[in-house]
Amino acid sequence: MLQPYIPILIQFVIVAALGGIIIGASAFVGRKPRTREKLSPYECGSLPVGDSRGRFSISFYLVGMLFILFDVEAVFLYPWAVVYKELKWLGFIEMFVYILILLAGFLYVWKKGALDWTR
Amino acid sequence: MTSVGSADFIRILPELVLSGFALLVMMLEPVTPAGKKTVLGWVSVVGVILAGLAAAAIAFFPGSAFSASISNDGYSVYLIELLLLIALLTLLGSMAYLERDAIDHGEYYALILMATAGGAFMVASTELIMVFIGLEISSISTYILAGYKRGELQSNESSVKYFLLGSFATAFFLYGIAFVYGLTGTTNLDVIRETLVNSPSSANPQLLWLAVILMFVGLAFKVSTAPFQIWTPDVYQGAPAPVTAYLSTAPKAAAFAVLVRLLIGSFGHVASAGPLIFWLLWISAVLTMCLGNLAALWQSNVKRLLAYSSIAHAGYILVGVTAGGAEGTSSVLFYLGGYALMNVGAFILVAHLAGADERRTDVEDFTGLAADRPGMAACLTVFMLSLAGFPSTVGFFAKFYVFRAAMHAHLTGLTVIALLNSVVSVYYYLRLVVAMYMGEGKTQVNEASIPRALGFAIAVSLIGIFFLGLFPSGLLSDLTSLHVPWL
């Protein structure tokens, strides 16, 4: 029953082996000069200026979450756009209600002050 | 493509009303001035009552909706009405509580409405994907509700535990659905049953067992049956008491409805899965009853005690599910109704008696309550006696019907274990009663007299307990003659 999947299993094994060999070989064979420059974090060629674990406003998280929410909801508009003509009025009304609910969520977020950066 | 018509929308009218009111409450929340959020509670009460009327109306439009993913039958209408009753009692019991503990958020009410809408979708759906969506809607709302006291560590712990284990359980359920889809090529319960019954050789029995076990595990988490009950006491203790009233009844009723529809309605008809389902239910029922009752004996906290008692009750309900058939199903439905009345009543009364910030929830704190507050002590006594299953309360007939169904299904061993368990349970229920009446009142209960809405909710549950305890045959014969599609 699972026989057709054997090539995939073989591929998994080869991928794991190849990755292991390449990383292992460079770890064993390669030279490892432990100079100050080699051990500093890689920052696209520019010098690091400080620790990355700084404090920043919690509003970033809030806005980030809200962005994801509305972004994902917008994804559902694409399938509708594809079958827009076949769905006719029913689809139109359904999507209208859907967007109304989105709008309600947006108004709620707005009125709650989640978008107010200075708060 | 199957067309969607107005009949489809009529058949989910209660869910639509609930969702609409939940949205309305969310929209009204920011514009309601602080300190006046109780108004939103009343808006939600109106929503629940309208949804109840809608559910009564759709009973006249039986049939399936949305390409057979929703089944509007007697079974689902009864359970939707039950969920709405639980929501109504919880809302009435919550308003004074939220005012007292200064939880000034209207979203609480909206979340209760959404959880109820999700539960209503669960009990009405005959499509596994739809069940899953309903489960998620109801679970996510209740995860938030459990952690509603943000300043309290216990409430946060409750929410996180419920969330982690709940999502874990949902993953099991989803994995089971995936196997069923792999075996039958459909997620519709009726088609699954037909496929498996008509061509039993098409499905690999081991994979079918795996699917059944995975789905059972997922639902067993939700109804807190052993060995998946570990989360229950912590979650029920940490959550605000009115939320616990809701958590211990509504999601349980909805998950039991799915369990019965799934295991008895669909997979129970499949010859190769029959014995597996039977033994799963049998073992889980015995473990649940014994663990719940034995652990409850040692509890000193009332909320924890009631949490273990709710585990034990899930065990009794499983006895009815194990019995199966028409009699088992109607006894389970009866039990869910009676259990909801007494458990919601007990928890909202405890919420009131516990005082500001729920500081007095130990059994010791209830010592001598009868001298200070004879009325409240009497009400709590009735709830305890009903939970213990004393005659003339609904708890007695709920157990009686379940055990009778088990006897008629020749489950003598299981019935004996269940009877012994309910004898043991009398001890810890009466312990609270004894403390209230016999003990010296060393802690003064200075709680204000019962708020009107809470008093009404408690009165409704008391009337229900006594009415069904004295005249149970009316509801039972209604439930027996319900149109349950798989019988």
Alpha helices in B185-249 (DSSP H): 189-198, 205-223, 232-238, 241-247
The number of C-alpha atoms within 13 Å of A88 and in the hemisphere containing its C-beta is 5
pTM: 0.90
pLDDT at residue B338, as a whole number = 95
The answer to whether the CB of B224 falls within 8 A of the CB of B175 is no
**Per this entry, what is the length of chain B?**
487
How crowded is residue B340: how many other Cβ atoms within 10 Å of its Cβ?
24
Residue A92 CA to residue A35 CA, distance in Å, equals 65
pLDDT at residue B290, as a whole number = 94
> B1–A112: do the CB atoms touch at under 8 Å?
no
Query: Which of A95, A108, A116 is the best mutation test for B, with the most CBs of B within 10 A?
Result: A108
Domain ranges for chain B, please list them. Answer: 6-480
Residue B365 CA to residue B145 CA, distance in Å, equals 26
Per the listing, tokens 């996180």 go with: B160
CA distances from B231 to A31, A74, A110, B303, B469 (A): 53, 36, 36, 14, 32
Residue B214 CA to residue B203 CA, distance in Å, equals 16
Burial B38-75 (b: 16+ CB within 10 A, else e): bebbebbbebbebbbebbeebbeeeebbeebbbbbbbb
Reported ipTM: the value is 0.78
Instruction: Tell whether B28 is within 8 A of chain A (Cβ).
Output: no
Residue B140 CA to residue B124 CA, distance in Å, equals 19
Plot region of B363 (φ>0 → left; ψ -120 to 50 → alpha; else → beta): alpha
Rg of chain A over all Cα atoms, to the nearest angstrom:
26
Residue B32 CA to residue B11 CA, distance in Å, equals 33
pLDDT at residue A18, as a whole number = 96
Nearest CA to B223 among B320, B313, B115? B313
Q: Each residue of A22-74: pLDDT tens digit?
A: 999 998 888 888 887 777 777 677 776 777 787 878 888 888 889 998 888 88
- Please state the rounded mean pLDDT for residues A86-108: 88
pLDDT at residue B1, as a whole number = 44
Q: Read off the DSSP letter of residue B449.
A: P
Using a CB-CB cut-off of 8 Å, the residues of chain B touching A108 are 26-27, 29-30
| End-to-end Cα spacing for chain B | 30
Minimum distance, in Å, between the CA of residue A52 and any CA atom of chain B: 28
Nearest by CB: B30 against A90, A101, A108: A108
> B30–A104: do the CB atoms touch at under 8 Å?
no
The per-residue pLDDT string of chain B (487 residues; one tens digit each, 9 = 90 and over) reads 467 778 888 899 999 999 999 999 999 999 999 888 999 999 999 999 999 999 999 988 888 888 888 998 889 999 999 999 999 999 999 999 998 888 888 899 999 999 999 999 999 999 999 999 999 999 999 999 999 998 889 999 999 999 999 999 999 999 999 999 998 888 999 888 888 888 777 778 888 899 999 999 999 999 999 889 999 999 999 999 999 999 999 999 999 999 999 988 888 888 788 889 999 999 999 999 999 999 999 999 999 999 999 999 999 999 999 998 889 999 999 999 999 999 999 999 999 988 888 888 888 888 888 888 888 999 999 999 999 999 999 999 999 999 999 999 999 999 999 999 999 999 999 999 999 888 776 655 556 688 899 999 999 999 999 999 999 988 888 888 887 877 7
pLDDT at residue B61, as a whole number = 87
Minimum distance, in Å, between the CA of residue A12 and any CA atom of chain B: 23
Residue B382 CA to residue A51 CA, distance in Å, equals 63
Q: What is the CATH number of domain A59-112?
A: 1.20.58.1610
Instruction: Tell whether B7 is within 8 A of chain A (Cβ).
Output: no
> A108–B26: do the CB atoms touch at under 8 Å?
yes
Q: Read off the DSSP letter of residue B301.
A: B
- Please tell me whether residue A43 adopts helix, strand or coil conformation: coil
Minimum distance, in Å, between the CA of residue A111 and any CA atom of chain B: 6
Instruction: Tell whether A116 is within 8 A of chain B (Cβ).
Output: no
Q: Please state, for a pLDDT cut of 70, what percent of chain A lies above it.
A: 97
Return the residue of A nearest to B24 by Cα.
A104
pLDDT at residue A33, as a whole number = 81
The answer to whether the CB of B147 falls within 8 A of the CB of B155 is yes
Taking a contact as any Cβ pair under 8 Å apart, which residues of chain A between 94 and 113 contact chain B?
A: 101, 104-105, 107-108, 111-112
Total beta-carbon pairs less than 8 A apart between chain A and chain B: 16
| End-to-end Cα spacing for chain A | 61
- Please tell me whether residue B72 adopts helix, strand or coil conformation: strand
